[in-house]
Amino acid sequence: MTHDTPSVERKYPPIAQISFVALVSMVIGGVYVAAHLPGHVSMTLPTILIIFSGVLLLANMVLLSRIPIFAWQSFFKVAKWTFLAEGIIAGMLEYIFVFDGTRGAVLVLMTSALIIFVLDLSVLFGFSVAQFQDE
């Protein structure tokens, strides 16, 4: 398909790549904890991974906010529905953790991982669509 005007290729920061690394490190931390339940879990590695994921998510949001010309309407439309869908999944998982008796530091860590999961996927999906849209 040809167009009358050539599309302008814009250069964006590595939002998707950073988001993917944050997601992978969050999943590794969560799987590590889940693999050791209901027994004793060393919280050092998962805590480091979840904090790393949170820092990457915040860095991604700062990078995203500094993009001067961007299809924000498309971004928020996709991010909003992703947030809703993943928020429902995270809510069900949180219910399972509480119902199964997960308490204390493990529950805080897993809840933090779920929050990062929802926010990170919303940013990833929203950016992945909006980067190809016209402002």
Kindly report the three-state secondary structure assignment for every residue of 27-95: HHHHHHHHHHCCCCCCCHHHHHHHHHHHHHHHHHHHHHHCCCCCCHHHHHHHHHHHHHHHHHHHHHHHH
| Domain residue limits at 83 | 15-130
Measured N-to-C along each axis, helices 15-36 and 44-65 cross at an angle, to the nearest 10 degrees, of: 160
| pLDDT single digits (tens) 25-59 | 999 998 898 888 777 889 999 999 999 999 999 99
In angstroms, how far is the first alpha carbon of the chain from the final one? 21
- Look at the block and give the residue holding tokens 């991974």: 49
Q: In this structure, is residue 78 part of a structural domain? A: yes
Q: How many domains does the chain have?
A: 1
Q: Is 9 part of a structural domain of the chain? A: no
Evaluate whether residue 27 is within a structural domain: yes
Residue 86 lies in a domain: yes
pLDDT above 80 (res 9): no
